[in-house]
Amino acid sequence: MNEHQENLSLAAVPSVHVRARDVAAVVKKRSNKNVDLESPDLRNHVLQSVSADFPSGSLCAIMGASGSGKTTLLNVMAHQLPASAGLVLSGTVLYNGSPKLSSVSHAYVPQTDILLPVLTVRETLSYAASLRLPPNLSALERYNLVEEVITELGLKDCADTRVGDGASHGGCSGGERRRVSIGVQLLGNPSVLFCDEPTTGLDATSAYQLMSTLKSLTGKGRTIICSIHQPRHDIFRLFDHLMLLSQGSSLYCGPAPDAIDWFVRLVPGSSEEQSNPADTLVMVAAIDTRSPDVEATSRARHELLRQAWSLESVTRFPPVSYTPDASLIKDDMSTALSAPFLHQTWTLTCRDVCVTSRDYMGLLACWIEAIAMGVICGFTFLDLPKTLSGIRSREAALYSVAGLQSFVILVYEILRLCHKDIKVFDRERREGVIAVLPWILSRRLAHALLEDIAVPFLFSVTFYFMCGFDAIAAQFFKFYAVMLLNQFIVVSFAMFCVSVSRDFAAASTVGNLLYSLMVFSGGFFIQADTLPVYVRWIKWVSYSFYTFGALASNEFTGKFYDCPSGESVLEPDCVQYRGDFILRNLSFSPGWFTVPICALIGFIVVFNLGSIGLLQVKREAGKMAERVGATAGYKEKVKEKAIIDLRERPLVAGYDLELWDIALSLKKLSPKGRWERLSILSNISTRFEAGQVNVILGPSGSGKSSLLNLLSCRLPSTLGYFVTSGTLSVNGAHITPLDLQGSCSYVMQHDNSLFPDLSVREMLHFSAQLRLPCHMSKAQKEERADEVLSAMGLDDCADNLIGNDIVKGISGGERRRVSIAIQLLTEPRILIADEPTSGLDAFTASSILDALAALAKEGRTVIITIHQSRSELFRHFGHLVVLAKGGQVAYSGQAADMISYFSSLGYSCPQDCNPSDWVLDLVSVDLRNADVEYASKCRLERILQSYVPSKPSLEETKLKGSRPMIRKQMAPLWVSFPVLIRRGLVILRRQPNIGVTRVVQVVGLGGIISLFFSPIGRGYQDASVNIVGLIQEILPFYFVGMLQNAALYPTERDMFYQEYTDNAYSLEAFMLAYICFEVPFEIFASLLFSLLGCIAANLRRTIAMYFVVALNCFCIVNCGESLGIVFNTLFSDETGLALNLTGVFMSIAQFMGGLMSVDMPGFLRGVNYISPLKYATANLMGYALRGVQFHCDDSQKLPDGSCIFGTGEDVLKLYGLEDVDEAKMLGALVGVTVIYRLVAYGILKARLSRIGK
């Protein structure tokens, strides 16, 4: 394997020498104006005057413990840090003497893999090659290069497997996705390649193969700079240049072979023979916080090393001269794109067509929405009569096309852009491989046939004919033409909203408020000529006005409906049945069609131009998390405390787990509609013993995580289903994984169960209060949390916010340790940890293994998977299981016997080789060369055939005896509920946008209503249109509740699922806490809305009416939130589908509210009884209109001199509400609100009952 010669045919590139001088990064904490910002207490130094040289044509490594500043330094040099007022950068970085990164060809591989999950590995790399490689290369040359990258990166076996995302889309393993990300950047043939933790998630063999490939690329002039945690010894030998960081300071930067000598001179005895040099360097630079004495010693050593290198840096890195014309923090992207405009557009279009056609759930969501909305709305307005009420329903039906249908599409498109597409765009644009215009154009071209053309057609052909509109071809295709333009406008509008903000909550708020502004001026709910002068102009810049106008003109121009007084158009009593009169009453001219069509095309252009402009100037945003200060007294208390109590603890009764013939496979539908079976684990028989650390070793994709997920009942939900077989027993007693789940703690591979707005200490304190026994006091629980915090080496970042992808907080390694610490709090009988040392440096990994070994010595069962392990950690291993690709067992037994076992098969481990690395090399297949691949496959086949599992004998299982599993106790409601409230208040204080999201849309809509309706008079237009229109505009708060839920609930839900599975607290505690943070904001927003929508608009200026409107608003928003909970729980893996179904359901409720469709079929009237909008409409109409007198002018009077609507009762009669008791309807609305929330609770409880089954 080591003799393999990489031969990637990437062309040689111009050499680039990177120099950094006095680079510093400081996070400034917000403070009062009178406080000195330079105070050390208000500044968090991430980097402190770091200088370095990275020569051209070299493989350079940046090493250091978690949180030492590796990623920050890499991001500074790669210009990846976003502009932020909280981050102050200083110093100089030069690339061949120029401060402009754009002066050289470069690429950056981030820690997070941002890939399109539905593309295969080969397709992902092929499209990347087409965008990144020079356009003069032939298709064959690009194909050959892609195949070489696939081979070199060991991706041959998964080349035709979809990339996936590790969640709802399965696909490749985490290590394979990591290699795909690197392959994408390699295809750009950069002169400088920055890699942030390229080997994280890879097994030792894959990591070595990858670094060997990177090393070979430096021979063609490339400079490759990567941060890395714990490279194996033969990877360390590949490094040409090395930089060691510790707590933001540089301790060494120079040739890698000279590093050990430098530290041995300063710290004699710091290096041992045959030890991994990388481990030695990290250990000598680390600060051990596990006891006060050891911490003092390590800090003194660290200060000695820092000062020595600070003096050495003065001579080794002399000042450089340059022209200061660029900033470190500037997002400096290359303006010279790899591909021209037409080539970009074609490539992106082909890629998007592939993605769209494979996104079955996305297409299903669009088509279901179109058909369901068409069918239900068609039933709502089924075969409309040509009576007066039928005419009004026709107007409402046409408005539904211009309004509600487009709103559902708008929200879905915003969601889809925010959650997936804009992230890929931002990454590729930051890399300089795509421009804004080709991306927007290709997106529309790719979605045109399957979505933009199909969706309006499906809706039109269903809705139009069910409503009973005239079956005239020209009239139908005019209808469809307006719908088609409306579709393009809406998706362009969604792009504009996302250009304003990448955050779904903010983008949907912008979309909802602007949409409402346009709909209000559309001329249906408020007669356009009666609009206040200061807003009347808005209709001319509202696409809803033109859409409704074109549809109304298409339907009513030249028509005469069924007048009961006669058939003559000239009959005075038939004026309301004339199509031209209806149009003028709506403020439209007869035959007004061409102008609105041209205007709609103009809106498409304007929205897209606005999106292009905003995306061009408004880049993705981000910021650095600040430090959360603790009180002085608390700091002293922590300082005086010992870090961890390592005294002997009493032994606990242990659990031995025996597995026999455990198999796991996934059955799923293929694109051809046939069921396919994918084997994941194959007849695994092994034993995990108490009192020792049980380890599962294996290359990426060998089924390690799947085995742990099976044992802990955490298999992910997919479109297919899992098939399992085999026997699982504990101490000889057969159990199910569901039994085991309640007795074990599980550390997942991905740290997605941490709250980004909590500090590390707060996260552990709240977790301790939820998870530890009730008999412990709060002080005892926090003391236990501090012990674990220190045992994990988290003291230095204890008061730092955890952060996320947007708000940069603690490092990836620190996040890993926090996840482990949470599970260690309860000292579980069985601890399962998936990759606990992944992404950690050697010192931290050793500390964690020490803690796990100490836990095992107490008689507990510890089961972990591991990718890369130091040779020193091998001594911690007890029972060892080695898995090969396909989930087959290559070895199962004591770790100490592994070397002798394989020696008996003829494979001897070299004396100076890490046993973990050696065995992984042994069971891995090297795919980089055909001959080597064949040899390694033959070797693996022989190893697998040689292994014979031994079933535990009956005598062995009886030694322990059968004991019942002790399940973890869930915190009772009276304990968990106050903790959740305190935790929520802390998060709310740091994330006020949560409260703003729940208030701003309601109040914003209230402002728009008052702007358009204030003050409502008591004339004919007010009676026939405006008052009814205002009440109708209160009903869309149903959608506001849904939007608020879609923005906040999925995150809360996922966090709750994790903690519920850990038996932390109950569903009842979660729901009560959720309601407590939801309802007060809804009440506050409703009271503010009523001031605007009732008092200011003059709906009826009484105290009673004020509270009636406020209560209606609250109930409607709350019902929308409940409905959001229902659908986002039922379709938790497909938020887009859930949103579309919710939108359809709510749109139906809008139609059936009683104001838009007066002539509904009987069965829909029955369904309407479960809709809150029915009761809201009835009580609001009654309270607003009963007893009100209206006036009219001569042109609006009947022949007998009376007004068409003389009193409020006349209006109520038109809508069939004259006999309704509004007080009872208001009470019914409150009752329905409660029922909706109880149904949401029941759905969530039913969903929880299936978790783990």
pLDDT above 60 (res 911): yes
At 207, is the pLDDT very low, low, confident or very high (cuts 50, 70, 90)? confident
Q: Tens digit of pLDDT for each residue in 258-268? A: 988 888 888 87
Q: How far is CA 1123 from the centre of its chain?
A: 22
| Helix, strand, coil in percent for the chain, rounding step 5 | 55, 10, 35
Name every residue whose Cβ is closer than 8 Å to that of residue 32 and which is 6 or more positions away in sequence. Answer: none
The Cα 729–Cα 660 span in angstroms is 9
What mean pLDDT is predicted for residues 916-935?
A: 80
Computed over every residue of the chain, the mean pLDDT equals 81
Q: Are 578 and 560 in contact (CB under 8 A)?
A: yes
* Residue 1225, φ and ψ in degrees, nearest 5: -65, -35
Give residue 611's pLDDT: 94
Structure tokens, 1026: 């405006």
Predicted confidence at residue 1241, as pLDDT, reads: 95
What whole-number distance in Å separates Cα of residue 161 and Cα of residue 124?
11
Give the confidence band of 961 by pLDDT, cuts at 50, 70, 90: very low
Distance CA 22, CA 509 (A): 44
Residue range 399-403: mean pLDDT, rounded: 74
Can you give 78-93 as a three-state secondary structure string?
CCCCCCCCCEEEEEEE
pLDDT in tens, 42-56: 446 788 889 999 999
pLDDT digits (tens, 9 = 90+) for 415-471: 889 888 888 898 888 878 888 999 999 999 999 888 899 999 999 999 999 988 888
Ordered alpha helix ranges (H), 703-837: 704-711, 737-741, 760-771, 778-791, 812-824
Asked if 651 and 859 touch (Cβ cutoff 8 Å), the reply is yes
DSSP state of 1246: H
Contact between 718 and 668 (Cβ < 8 Å): yes
**Could you read off the pLDDT of 987-1005 as tens digits, one per residue?**
988 888 888 888 988 998 8
State whether residue 832 is helix, strand or coil: strand
Identify whether the C-beta of residue 429 lies closer than 8 Å to the C-beta of residue 342.
Answer: no
Q: Which residue do the tokens 């606005």 mark?
A: 610
Give the amino acid at 1147: S
Query: What are the beta bridge partners of residue 694?
Result: 863
Residues 1090 and 1208 sit within 8 Å (Cβ to Cβ): no
Percent above pLDDT 70 for the chain: 84
- For residues 811 and 1116, what is the distance between their CA atoms, to the nearest angstrom? 43
Q: Kindly report, residue by residue over 832-869, the tens digit of the pLDDT.
A: 888 888 767 777 777 788 888 888 888 888 999 887 67
> Does the pLDDT of residue 1194 top 80, yes or no?
no
CA angle 216, 219, 225 (to 5 degrees): 75
pLDDT for 338: 56
Task: Answer yes or no: is pLDDT of 1212 > 90.
Answer: no
Q: Is the predicted pLDDT of residue 34 greater than 50, yes or no?
A: no
Give the pLDDT band (50/70/90) at residue 625. Answer: low
Give the whole-angstrom CA distance, residue 177 versus residue 304.
41
Contact indicator for 236, 277 with CB cutoff of 8 Å: yes
Report the half-sphere exposure of 663 (CA within 13 A, side-chain side).
10
Q: Distance between CA 462 and CA 376 in Å, rounded?
A: 9
Of residues 726, 745, 743, the one with CA closest to residue 734: 726
Asked whether the whole model's pTM tops 0.85, one would answer: no
Q: What span, in angstroms and rounded, lies between the C-alpha atoms of 235 and 215?
A: 10
Looking at 954-1102, list the stretches that DSSP marks H as alpha helix, in order from N- to C-terminal side: 954-960, 973-990, 993-1013, 1020-1021, 1027-1034, 1037-1061, 1067-1090
3-state secondary structure 19-37: EEEEEEEEEECCCCCCCCC
Which of 382-386, 617-621, 880-884, 959-963 comes out lowest in average pLDDT?
959-963
What are the residues facing 186 on neighbouring strands?
none
Q: pLDDT band at 525, cuts 50/70/90?
A: low
d(CA 958, CA 964): 14
Burial status of residue 1084 (CB atoms within 10 A of its CB: 0-12, 13-18, 19 or more): middle
For residue 1081, what pLDDT is reported?
93
Q: What tens digit of pLDDT does each residue of 653-670 get?
A: 678 888 888 888 877 766
pLDDT value of residue 1068: 93
pLDDT at 1141: 73
> What's the burial of 291, exposed, middle or buried (CB within 10 Å: 0-12/13-18/19+)?
middle
d(CA 190, CA 859): 53
pLDDT tens digits, residue range 480-496? 999 999 999 999 999 99
**What is the number of residues in the chain?**
1253
pLDDT at 639: 44
Q: Express each pLDDT in 338-382 by its tens digit.
A: 578 888 999 999 999 998 888 877 888 888 888 888 888 888 788
Binned at pLDDT 50, 70 and 90, residue 646 comes out as very low
Q: What pLDDT is attached to residue 957? A: 46
Q: Which residues contact 1237 (CB under 8 A, 6 or more apart)?
A: 1075, 1118, 1122
Place of tokens 């979809």: 162
Does residue 915 have a cis peptide bond before it, meaning omega lies within 30 degrees of 0?
no
Give residue 718's pLDDT. 55
Give, to the nearest 10 degrees, the angle between helix 473-500 and helix 543-556: 170
State residue 1243's pLDDT score.
92
CA 1115 – CA 1138 distance, rounded (Å): 21
For 245-277, the DSSP string reads EETTEEEEEEEGGGHHHHHHHHSTT---TTS-H
Q: Is the pLDDT of residue 61 over 90?
A: yes
Output the pLDDT for position 1083: 94
- Domains of the chain, with CATH numbers? 344-617 (no CATH), 649-743+858-966 (3.40.50.300), 1000-1253 (no CATH)
Contact present, 1215 and 1205 (Cβ < 8 Å): no
Q: What percent of the chain has pLDDT over 90?
A: 19
Q: How far apart are CA 485 and CA 472, in angstroms?
A: 20
Greater confidence (620 vs 813) lies with 813
pLDDT for position 1044 = 87
**How far is CA 831 from each of CA 256, 404, 660, 713, rounded to the nearest angstrom?**
39, 51, 20, 14
* pLDDT given for residue 1014 in this prediction: 77
Contact present, 56 and 236 (Cβ < 8 Å): no
Bridge partners, 882 (sequence order): 697, 891
Kindly indicate the confidence band of residue 102, based on its pLDDT and cuts at 50, 70 and 90.
confident
Where residue 67 falls among pLDDT bands split at 50, 70, 90?
confident
Kind plus residue range of the DSSP H or E element containing 632 = helix 632-640
**787-801 pLDDT, tens digit each:** 888 877 788 788 888
Structure tokens given for 291: 């006891």
Residues 1162-1172 pLDDT 10s: 656 667 788 88
How far is it, in rounded angstroms, from Cα 531 to Cα 1010? 11
* Nearest residue to 87 via CA among 748, 839, 622, 589: 622
What is the predicted pLDDT for the residue at 669?
A: 63
- pLDDT above 60: residue 279: yes
CA angle 1115, 1120, 1126 (to 5 degrees): 125
CA dihedral angle for residue 756, residue 762, residue 765, residue 769, rounded to 10 degrees = -70
Query: What value, to the nearest 5°, has the Cα angle with vertex 618 and ends 613 and 621?
Result: 160
DSSP string across 1054-1092: HHHHHHHHTT-S-HHHHHHHHHHHHHHHHHHHHHHHHII
Rounded CA-CA distance 303/309 in Å is 10
With 50 as the cut, is the pLDDT of residue 38 above it?
A: no
